[in-house]
Chains A and B, each alone.
Chain A
Amino acid sequence: MANTTIILCSVIRDDLDDHLRLSLEEGMKSCYTKHFNLTSGIKIIWIDIPHGQAYQGGKLSSTATILASVENQLPSTQRVSFIEDICQLWHQQTGKPKDQLVVSAADRERVEFMLGLSRERVAKLWRIPVMAKMMTRLLFSKVKRGYFSMDINLS
């Protein structure tokens, strides 16, 4: 994981079709190249949230949440410039108004920490089977659709 740059995109299932997702992936990778001269090691994972499971302000929501990892302690000006480009990309390509986009650029080690917190909610006995199931789903979607995706539900 140390040299992998992860981007987690949480969206409502069926909100964005395959073509749009792949286009967004190309766009996000271009942002990494533009801002950080990064051309490889970028892994984008789509997390599908079924209708009825996402809320904002107390109401059902279709907000897309993008969590992009960047180098640790990246200067603020660079971080904000990168975030702005990602946000603009999504706004232009999806047509989503900016109040339905939440874009974060977090230190790589913080992203790994947060993924660890998510893993730790699972009972120890089940962590390996759950990880194996997630990996299978991710690989299956990559083969079938061309991108890594999984459901927010683990069942």
Chain B
Amino acid sequence: MPLYTVSTRKSLPSDTKEKIVKAITKVHCDITEAIPEFVQVVFSEGVPLKSRVDIHLLGSIRSGRNDETKSHLSNSFKQILSQIMLSTSERVECILSDVPASWVMEGGRILPEPGDEDAWLARA
């Protein structure tokens, strides 16, 4: 958590995937102050997307972030992914879905609520 699924019509070259992964990880961590080690990105290819969309991003993120933060995330993803895909922000579809931290276990422990990462890491 977070888990971002990147969907495209065709297979992407490895270097493009790596750019996308780095961009998503950086944007997420810069805005939410989360830990990069937990950011998961998977690619789903051969998806017949809507005609007005070049790339689709579905993100499951820990709930507790306000609308402003989520809006900032979404806009930043659209901007950076459109640059990588040589497209426009309007053709990047980004959907973020909240998941309570208490529903998820990683590294053998239930995830902390947003903002409690330091205490959680200290107990590791």
CA distance A113 to B97 in the complex (A): 9
Which residues from chain A sit less than 8 Å from chain B, CB to CB? 10, 49, 52-58, 61, 63, 65, 76, 79-80, 83-84, 87, 91, 98-99, 101-106, 110, 113-114, 117-118, 121-126, 130, 152-155
Are B40 and A65 in contact (CB-based, < 8 A)? yes
* A99:B107 contact, CB within 8 angstroms: yes
CB neighbours (8 Å) of A87 from chain B are 105, 108
CB of B22 within 8 Å of the partner chain = yes
CB-defined contacts of B39 to chain A, threshold 8 Å: 56-58
Residues of A within 8 A of B48 (CB): 122-123, 125-126, 130, 154
A107 nearest CB neighbor, chain B only? B103
Check if A154 sits within 8 Å of B45, measured CB to CB. Answer: yes
Residue from B37, B45, B106 with most neighbouring chain A CB atoms (10 Å) = B106
- Whose C-beta in chain B lies nearest to the C-beta of A56? B40
Complex CA distance for A34 and B76, rounded to whole angstroms: 44
A87-B108, A122-B47, A154-B47 given as contacts; is B42 within 8 A of A49 (CB)? yes
Interface size, B (range) = 35 or more
Instruction: Please measure, in the bound complex, the distance between the C-alpha atom of A58 and the C-alpha atom of B28, giving whole angstroms.
Output: 12
B74 at interface by CB-CB < 8 Å:
no
Please pick, from B42, B51, B93, B108, the residue contacting A152 in the complex, using a CB distance under 8 A: B42
Complex contact A54–B42 (CB within 8 A): yes
Determine if B49 is an interface residue (Cβ-Cβ < 8 Å): yes
Contact B25 A52 (CB under 8 A): no
CA distance in complex: A154, B41 (Å): 17
Q: How far is the CB of A93 from chain B (nearest CB, A)?
A: 15
Please report the C-alpha to C-alpha distance between residue A135 and residue B56 in the assembled complex, in whole angstroms: 23
Known: A56-B40, A58-B25. 20 other contacts (CB 8 A): A52-B14, A54-B41, A55-B42, A56-B37, A57-B37, A80-B105, A99-B106, A101-B106, A101-B108, A102-B3, A102-B40, A102-B106, A103-B106, A104-B1, A105-B103, A106-B99, A123-B49, A130-B48, A153-B44, A155-B45
